[in-house]
Copies of this chain bind each other. A is one copy, B any other.
């Protein structure tokens, strides 16, 4: 039961290499980050939850898209997306236009207000990150960015997300 007694630290699991220890640390720190992110996901902006922010961001990158695309891309139920989009529309941040080619489809567009809010929130987040990372060297920043990108890239292949 030694492994069970201290799984968060350097649990004595036979022949573990330094790489294993690093993986352990990465797991722990990612868990910490995930928990904190979860806790604050709802209040990143009075008007924009993490999900809304993501949807808005996607909308801006793609210019236009359907609700179903968002649902598929972010592994959300279409009903969830539908309600989120409704809320965003009520807030005047997105617009639903019927697609002349397929009347079932509602093409989503960012409104000017949506673009503005999105830019605002993005800027606030950017400032927060800049502050957090203020004392990092440029070299460390670049490497950290690379690692994160590489880490996230595996999601294209697998499904999980812890």
A residues neighboring B (CB under 8 Å): 1, 3-9, 17-20, 22-27, 29-41, 44, 50-51, 53-54, 57, 60-61, 74-76, 115-116, 118-119, 122-123, 125-126, 128-133, 136, 138, 140-145, 147-152, 154-155, 158, 160-162
* Interface of A: prevailing SS: helix
| 18 contacting pairs across A/B (C-beta < 8 A) | A3-B123, A4-B119, A7-B118, A8-B57, A19-B142, A23-B126, A23-B133, A25-B145, A25-B149, A30-B148, A31-B125, A32-B155, A37-B161, A38-B38, A38-B50, A38-B51, A39-B74, A39-B75
**Complex copy number for this chain:** 2
- Inter-chain contacts of A17 with B (CB < 8 A): 138
